[in-house]
Chains A and B, each alone.
Chain A
Amino acid sequence: MASNGIRDRVAIVGMSCTAFGERWDRSADDLLVEAVHGATESASTNLDDIDAFWLGTYLSGVSGMTLSRPLRIRDKPVTRVENMCVTGSESLRGACYAVASGAYDVAMAVGVEKLKDSGYSGLTRASIPGDGTGGTLGTTTAPANFSLLGPAYAAKYGVHPRELKEVFTRIAWKNHANGARNPRAQFRTPVAASTIARSPLVAGQLGVFDCSGVSDGAAAAIVVRAEDAHRYTDRPLYVKALSCVSGDATGNVDPSYDFTTFPEVEASAREAYRQAGVHDPRAEIAMAEVHDCFTVTELVLMEDLGFAERGTAWKQVLAGTFDLTGELPVNPDGGLKAFGHPVGASGLRMLFECWLQLRDDVPADRRIAQHGRTLGLTHNLGGGPGECVSFVSLVGTEPND
């Protein structure tokens, strides 16, 4: 038994992404219609050409009819998927495997989330009857869960909490600077480091500006067999790797876990690199879109994804390694931080940035320098330290590279 991967067997031939943000005037239905038609236009095709759909949404709808009803899709399968913040990427996985299996010629992955209708601050959870003990995650909020990483990282690597706060601030500053250049991003104003550093605390060392945007949005991708790709576009994006790890949730139970890493991310990255034949991700990848739900998350991910040695990512962040103009641009579109985080759409939004950047379809002011590299990485994480779901994909413009 083995995980075989589907390297270069399917390709993305059309994509779209709505503007993310507080879309008070748009419903989830409206966002879905916009994203789906945007994707078909992008692939110069129409809805009738799509054989099957995978819809990712965390809390904005149930069943495939969340998609087929507003678009009036008739006599086609729509699979609704949910995997916490990996939801959008999960829809892509389903669509890719469906095409790779030969079951369908053309599949669409769609993700949507309408968070701003709840009136709440931050994300909420689905209500499941329980015993009142909160399980292993307790009753803390998402920023609090991720902020547990801070003191543990500082203690393990001898980083002063003040220094660590500077690192968080640098990450937020970078992602805001990137988002400011992106017309689809939720936050389009650069934010001064001093403003970020002084923002009111939400949990632990994390201030308001260390947290991703709560937003509405949708994104979609059309997946076909690699050999069919050029019927739709001259510049397809080949799927090199799809890797997903659902954690065994032992971190909050097993004292051997030290809260300075996401073992699930490390495992999913290792698997993705194996599928794609990547040996030195920092050198071989042109860009990465990672799950910066909170600034501390992005710091730890740099190590878990193999972009920096253990205990050194904080120095690399401060050195600008992951800036738009750095050696390995991370979240060039602004990330969850500035682009926003409509949960079900986020994974596909990350893929959309690879779609634009790797195919040279972005304005010069926010274009990354590829230096001959053709691979992009997307990473999603749902849950928190100690128990999470992690997804890593690699896509590239060259087949069989």
Chain B
Amino acid sequence: MHGIVACEAYIPYHRLERAAISTSLGGGVVSGARSVASYDEDATSMAVEAARSVLRTVPTAARPRRLYLATTVPPYLDKTNATVAHSALALDSGALAVDMCGGVRSGAGAFLAAAEASEPAMALLSDIRTGLPGSADEREGGDAAAAVLFGPGDSDTPVLAEVVSAAAETEEFLDRWRAPGDLASRVWEDRFAEHVYVPLAMDTLSAALKKADLTPGGVDHLVVCGLPRRSVRRVAAGTGIPADRVVPDLAEVIGNPGTAQLGVLLAAALRRAGPGDTIALLLLADGATAFILRTTAQIGRRRPAAPLAGGGGAALRYPTFLNWRGMLAREPPRRPDPEPPAAPPAYRSRAYKHAFTATRCTRCGRVSLPPAQVCFHCGAIDTMVSHPMARAHGTVATFTVDRLAFTPHPPMIAVVVDFDGGGRFRCELTDADASQVAIGDPVEMTFRRLLTADGVHNYFWKARPVRRAGGET
């Protein structure tokens, strides 16, 4: 049996209260908040964070041999983005990594490709959604990623749910579109989209249920996704499946994270499903796609973590949000422009730079970050072995707040981290409040985009405060 063996969502730390938008721009007050990818995150880095959650407890044998990354905001064109994730996750070089970029519908394609793969495969769904200031897309959008790992299952990593059936309807019509390079999408009148989407979605769900030999009454958990909000609501209310079986869409707390929504809400469904439950996933995007899943008796073995654990932090100021999304330029510090990494040194150090792999001296046991040929402690040469540090936890040995350094979000917080089990690393602290840092604070590592220069995204690692569920540090 090939099925879902792990599924996790990643919701970035920052939130924008919708009221903050109307405070600045006027207009009616809208309730709730949306999640916001930090200035140092993008679709790839968030996908990596979601994937790291999935792979944390997965044994080597179950690690993916195929990686499909779906997003509407690929950080690179021409160059594959999934290879960055592949490198950050230290996957075997024999594992395939490809992008499925463009429309929200790509997420369904990545999910289906992973579900139907003949070997362990992971779908990474990641998105940053916004629009012009004051738009519905800005207000209702959200930023998130999800990772869904499929595999044959074994006693360590059992199949939690299998895909029983799938169905799709494809339709070409203008409901939303965006030219490459544009910061915001354009949408047609939503009543037109509703006219096309609702019957398509109903037909698709019916087809998938029929293939699975089910009726709407047999569905225990219904997930309806998609950016056309009006259509999604109509469909969710009109399938004949009782309202209490519809998985809440998290719109009030994170907004709609586009391509990632399918995975984020699947994780929510898997969190509440019991053994033998039927989950229907329906996506409205350029047609409709439906998947019918059935949970196994092992569903309780590995529930997705609560998606808001550690999130819901610092309420963001609206101008900061606009700045992060490229809508509001700020005066840079009077410092040299940052330089992009050079290709050959970045290639040589990819195990360190992307996967945060250190070296450990086999003679004295000391861990060296960055990797070294000569041991800093015992001086031995070439006695090093690779030593993964991406999951290591540590504490702040000392710190500073740099108000002069170049950063898209000043001030830069710098910490010296001493890791449990050895190793010291000096880096930036992210998702943190400059006034709250102290010696002894517990931190963990996170994969981030440090900066972009000459079109090169400089991915590397930062520390972040270790947070418990509920957003407390």
Report which A residues bind B (CB closer than 8 A): 118-122, 124, 127, 129-141, 143-145, 147-152, 155, 200-204, 248, 250, 252-255, 257-259, 386
Contact = CB atoms under 8 A, between A and B. Distances in A.
Given A131-B348, A132-B340, 7 more contacts: A122-B335, A131-B345, A134-B460, A152-B439, A250-B376, A257-B424, A386-B426
Contact of B370 (A119, A133, A149): A133
Interface stretch (B167-175, B255-263, B396-404): B396-404
A253 B369 CA distance: 6
Contact of B341 (A124, A130, A151): A130
26 contacts: A118-B336, A120-B334, A122-B335, A130-B339, A131-B341, A132-B340, A132-B460, A133-B353, A133-B370, A136-B370, A139-B338, A139-B406, A140-B400, A144-B412, A147-B400, A151-B398, A151-B400, A152-B439, A204-B399, A204-B402, A250-B377, A252-B416, A252-B426, A254-B424, A257-B424, A259-B397
A203 B406 contact: no
A118 B344 CA distance: 29
Interface string B93-108: 0000000000000000
A140 B411 CA distance: 11
Nearest to B343: A129
Nearest to A146: B400
A248 B375 CA distance: 11
A203 B418 contact: no
Given A129-B345, A201-B403, A248-B376, A138 B397 contact: no
Interface in B197-237: none
B402 A140 contact: yes
A386 to B, nearest CB: 8
A44 to B, nearest CB: 44
Contacts of A127: 339
B405 A140 contact: yes
B1 interface: no
Residue of B348, B369, B424 contacting most chain A CB atoms (<10 Å): B424
Contacts of A143: 402, 404
A138 B428 contact: yes
Contacts of B357: none
A138 B427 contact: yes
Most central of B369, B402, B423 by chain A CB within 10 Å: B402
B362 interface: no
Contacts of B423: 255
Q: Which 9 A-B pairs have the closest CB atoms?
A: A132-B341, A144-B402, A129-B342, A204-B400, A131-B345, A132-B458, A152-B398, A131-B349, A147-B400
A138 B341 contact: no
A147 B403 CA distance: 12
Contact of B404 (A141, A149, A254): A141
B352 A255 contact: no
Contacts of A148: 398-400, 414, 416
Nearest to A206: B400
Contacts of B439: 151-152, 155
A357 B341 CA distance: 49
A122 B404 contact: yes
A303 to B, nearest CB: 17
A137 B370 CA distance: 11
A137 B426 contact: yes
Interface string B380-408: 00000000000000000111111111100
Contact of B336 (A124, A130, A145, A150): A124
B370 A135 contact: yes
A133 B402 CA distance: 17
B29 interface: no
Nearest to A142: B404
Contact of A140 (B349, B368, B414, B418): B414
Interface string B320-353: 0000000000000111101111101110110011
A203 B400 contact: yes
B450 interface: yes
Contacts of B368: 253
A299 to B, nearest CB: 15
A138 B415 CA distance: 10
Nearest to B419: A255
A120 B349 contact: no
Contacts of A140: 400, 402, 405, 412, 414
A152 B458 CA distance: 30
B199 to A, nearest CB: 51
A121 B400 contact: no
Interface string B117-138: 0000000000000000000000
A151 B403 CA distance: 17
Given A152-B397, A254-B377, A203 B348 contact: no
B405 A144 contact: yes
Contacts of A248: 376
Given A140-B400, A148-B400, A151-B439, A259 B405 contact: no
B380 to A, nearest CB: 14
A136 B376 CA distance: 13
A257 B336 CA distance: 31
B76 to A, nearest CB: 15
Contacts of B405: 139-141, 144
Contact of A254 (B346, B376, B403, B460): B376
Contact of A121 (B342, B345, B404): B404
A255 B403 CA distance: 26
A37 B332 CA distance: 42
B336 A120 contact: yes
A218 B460 CA distance: 40
A130 B338 CA distance: 12
Nearest to A207: B403
A248 B377 CA distance: 10
Contacts of A386: 416, 426
Contacts of B366: 254
B424 A252 contact: yes
A135 B401 CA distance: 19
B471 interface: no
B403 to A, nearest CB: 6
A228 B145 CA distance: 76
B240 interface: no
Contacts of A151: 398-400, 439
Contacts of A258: 397
Contacts of B425: 252
Given A132-B450, A147-B400, A138 B414 contact: yes
B376 A131 contact: no
B450 A139 contact: yes
B238 interface: no
B470 interface: no
Contacts of B460: 132-134
A299 B187 CA distance: 62
B275 interface: no
Contacts of B406: 139
Contacts of B335: 120-122, 124, 141
Contacts of B458: 132
B414 A133 contact: no
A255 B418 contact: yes
A143 B402 CA distance: 8
A147 B398 CA distance: 10
